[in-house]
Amino acid sequence: MKAIALAQKLIRDLKEKSLSQLSADSRLELVDAINAAIQRLHELSPDHTKKTNGSLSLSAPVSAMLEVTNGSRSFTGYTIIGDELFCTIRISGDPIDNQITGDGNLLHPYNGPSGTVEAVIFGDASALPATLMEVISDPLIIETGDYLKLSNPMARDYRSPNRAICRPCRFRIEGNALNNNPASPAIFRTDSLPDQAYRLEFEAKLSPLRVGFEDIVTPGDELPFRTEHIESFLLPLARAELTSSSLWRDKDLIATTLRRAEEAEFRFINSSIHSLATPSNRVGTPRGF
């Protein structure tokens, strides 16, 4: 089911019966109710329904010529591409490695002679998309078959003035809450500077889906729920969220609607399948018998 179809079901409880005649504010109330219900079911869902396979690419080193000024965090002469954002950059004349924080922006002031200098950009970092909540496995380097191990966030190898250039062995996840263009709440970073391009595969936990205003105006993607869970679980929770709206038609139904939402949560928890495969048979002869 699409979000617009769910919204059509929800307006049956409202004073206004046509989705097209709702004001923008009223449509936003529908969006908020749907998102709140989705987030609640996501919270109650077993772990296997939130897992996915993720992939990241670490780029090979790239040479560039920059115009830099001593003491400045800005540079010109080179336009970064998306994959180079947050990556380490080694600029000739500066004794420490720097980091790209935006197009033409550095994390630290450049501490070398002003002018045109050579630089090397290393693919040691990659922004994790907002759809991923957590990396839950050791990433596999597809080219070598090796696994990266999670490192101590305060490990000295990340803070070395000039990190080694070689195949990465460890990784860490850095918070990046202030960056919103694009939305990248976390950065994946390796301990060393990759000497070549590598592809990584890992398991990740998904963030809950969010529907937008446009999804109840024109049909968008399908909601990520089993068909039989829409009316039984998602709809009751979304209806309960709408009971506080000024558009709610029958105030006498509020208590019943809230109770049905609680019952839906209870049934969802107890009916959810917690394993995608039949568990192993643990019945057998007692140890030592």
Beta bridge partners of 204: 52, 135
- Rounded-to-integer distance, Cα 94 and Cα 244, Å: 59
The predicted-structure confidence for 24-36, as pLDDT tens digits, reads as follows 999 999 999 999 9
- Among 2-6, 37-41, 182-186, 210-214, name the one with the lowest average pLDDT: 182-186
How crowded is residue 82: how many other Cβ atoms within 10 Å of its Cβ?
A: 9
Q: How far is CA 42 from CA 51, 181, 209, in A?
A: 11, 26, 9
pLDDT attached to residue 30:
93
Confidence label for 204 from pLDDT (cuts 50, 70 and 90): very high
Percentage helix, strand, coil, to 5, in the chain?
30, 25, 45
Contact of 234 with 41, CB cutoff 8 Å? yes
The predicted-structure confidence for 102-117, as pLDDT tens digits, reads as follows 899 999 999 999 999 9
The predicted-structure confidence for 236-247, as pLDDT tens digits, reads as follows 999 999 999 988
Ordered by start, the domain boundaries in the chain are 3-50+209-271, 54-206
155 versus 50: the higher-pLDDT residue is 50
The predicted-structure confidence for 127-176, as pLDDT tens digits, reads as follows 888 888 889 999 999 999 999 999 876 665 666 778 899 999 999 998 87
Burial 101-114 (b: 16+ CB within 10 A, else e): eeebebeeebebee
Confidence label for 282 from pLDDT (cuts 50, 70 and 90): low
Which strands, in side-by-side order, build the sheet including 125-128?
Answer: 125-128, 186-190, 170-175, 149-150
